[in-house]
């Protein structure tokens, strides 16, 4: 005998479950310390030298990633040297007690996931920030590992698809190629629409790579367990590099028509050119800058929203709030799946648009 007979009864049960937390509002709450929401959220969306799996305090389980530094030569060690090293307490600028990690040889310290060189064995603070020198940090961090994983996925997808066509020629695809073909054709249509029939082929590899890189890494960021869940495309350095590539492609393929539009915008009287030229020159920079900020902010904001909703459980120190916060986080996550695809499509389309503007022939 089923518990639910109709949609109305199902909805009634669902609503009852969602408001149930109110009945348990006084249960729990053993620890006195407040849950630092902002700190925890920032910790989750930032890069780290360890990949934290589960556990808290004494029971933390993490994957300790290698630290690779260049400091008069190559220095490598596992980041467990830091996280299992000596914590040194200090009071930060807001008067709160924090600690930084010192590794056993006493040469380096880790604070907020940044590595500093120690002189006299301690960090010297100036207005709340350490002013020690920093070695060049080429460590494999969480984001780097996630990038490698995403890259392996893309390589596998693309080479498998290519191998099908090499073996079978231009036929209707089966298997993985059948799944990939509509998406690759979509990128091809973006290129043809924006760059033009005659010139799009040169830029199609870049656009396909950008589209799939952004899409697959956005989707990986939504998976809560390793190897997903690293906020790669929400790292502004990563989006900066992608935007720089777009800018390089645009500027290096600019033809005479493109540069004449910048230095002698048609239809502008001579007297206004001293104003227009700086504006156009800055425009070359601002368009990729907008690409960078758009992707970074969309991804980071999405993750912050989901994290904040789940934090409701921890702020109230009561697991029954999960009945309310997890469905809400689920709805937002569904929206984030759409945003993941949309941001990838948009990045590819705007890159194609800028490249198309650069290679456009003048039509008089």
Partner 1 sequence: MYGSIAAIGAGLAVLGAGIGIGRIGGSAMDAIARQPEAHGKIQTTMIIAAALIEGVALFGVVVGMLGGAK
Binding site residues, partner 1, CB under 8 A: 93-94, 128, 290, 293-294, 296-298, 301, 342-343, 346, 349
How is residue 26 annotated by DSSP? T
CB nearer partner 1, residue 111 or residue 177: 111
CB nearer partner 1, residue 114 or residue 294: 294
Concatenate the DSSP letters of all residues of 130-181 into one string.
E-S---EE----HHHHHHHHHHHHHHHHHHHHHHHHHHH-SS---THHHHHH
First to last CA, the chain: 76
Are 282 and 295 in contact, with CB atoms under 8 Å apart?
no
CB of 240 to partner 1, least distance (A): 13
CB nearer partner 1, residue 81 or residue 304: 304
CB nearer partner 1, residue 251 or residue 349: 349
CB nearer partner 1, residue 18 or residue 240: 240
Buried b (16+ CB within 10 A) or exposed e, 247-286: bebbeeebeeebeebeeeeeeeeeeeeeebeeebeeebee
CA dihedral 45, 51, 52, 58 (to 10 degrees): -130
CB nearer partner 1, residue 102 or residue 303: 303
CB nearer partner 1, residue 290 or residue 330: 290
Please give the structure tokens belonging to residue 103.
């590794």
CB of 198 to partner 1, least distance (A): 23
CB nearer partner 1, residue 261 or residue 294: 294
Are 50 and 79 in contact, with CB atoms under 8 Å apart?
yes
Are 227 and 146 in contact, with CB atoms under 8 Å apart?
yes
CB nearer partner 1, residue 93 or residue 155: 93
CB of 293 to partner 1, least distance (A): 6
CB of 172 to partner 1, least distance (A): 24
Are 96 and 39 in contact, with CB atoms under 8 Å apart?
no
Q: CA-to-CA distance for 63 and 113, rounded, in angstroms?
A: 15
Are 188 and 266 in contact, with CB atoms under 8 Å apart?
no
CB of 58 to partner 1, least distance (A): 29
CB of 88 to partner 1, least distance (A): 20
CB nearer partner 1, residue 229 or residue 302: 302
CB of 255 to partner 1, least distance (A): 25
CB of 290 to partner 1, least distance (A): 6
CB of 319 to partner 1, least distance (A): 29
CB of 339 to partner 1, least distance (A): 9
Classified as helix, coil or strand, 129 is strand
Which residues on neighbouring strands pair with residue 102, listed in sequence order? 86, 109
Are 47 and 113 in contact, with CB atoms under 8 Å apart?
yes
CA dist 148 to 62, 158, 239, 296, Å? 19, 15, 16, 19
Are 49 and 67 in contact, with CB atoms under 8 Å apart?
yes
């Amino acid at each position: 005998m089923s518990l639910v007979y109709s949609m109305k009864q199902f909805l009634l049960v669902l609503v009852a479950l969602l408001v149930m937390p109110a009945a348990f509002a006084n249960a729990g709450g053993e620890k006195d310390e407040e849950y630092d929401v902002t700190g925890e959220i920032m910790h989750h969306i930032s890069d780290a030298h360890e990949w934290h799996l589960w556990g808290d305090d004494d029971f933390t389980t993490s994957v300790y990633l290698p630290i690779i530094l260049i400091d008069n030569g190559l220095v490598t060690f596992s980041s467990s040297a830091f996280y299992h090293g000596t914590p040194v307490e200090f009071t930060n600028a807001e008067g709160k007690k924090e600690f930084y990690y010192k590794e056993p040889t006493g040469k380096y310290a880790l604070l907020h996931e940044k590595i500093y060189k120690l002189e006299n064995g301690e960090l010297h603070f100036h207005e709340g920030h350490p002013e020690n020198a920093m070695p060049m940090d080429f460590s494999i961090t969480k984001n780097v590992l996630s990038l490698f994983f995403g890259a392996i996925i893309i390589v596998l997808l693309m080479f498998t698809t290519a191998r099908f066509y090499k073996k079978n020629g231009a036929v209707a695809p089966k298997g993985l190629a059948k799944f990939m073909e509509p998406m690759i054709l979509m990128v091809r249509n973006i290129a043809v629409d924006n760059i033009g029939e005659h010139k799009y082929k040169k830029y199609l590899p870049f656009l396909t790579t950008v589209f799939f890189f952004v899409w697959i890494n956005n989707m990986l960021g939504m998976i809560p367990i390793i190897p997903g869940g690293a906020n790669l495309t929400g790292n502004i350095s990563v989006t900066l590099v992608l935007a720089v590539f777009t800018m390089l492609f645009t500027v290096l393929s600019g033809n005479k028509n493109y540069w004449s539009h910048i230095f002698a915008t048609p239809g502008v009287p001579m007297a206004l050119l001293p104003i227009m030229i700086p504006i156009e020159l800055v425009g070359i920079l601002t368009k990729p800058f907008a690409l960078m900020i758009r992707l970074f902010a969309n991804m980071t904001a999405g993750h912050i929203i989901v994290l904040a909703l789940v934090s409701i459980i921890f702020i109230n120190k009561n697991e029954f709030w999960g009945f309310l916060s997890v469905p809400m986080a689920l709805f937002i996550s569904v929206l984030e799946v759409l945003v993941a695809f949309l941001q990838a499509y948009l990045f590819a389309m705007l890159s194609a648009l800028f490249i198309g503007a650069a290679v456009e022939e003048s039509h008089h």
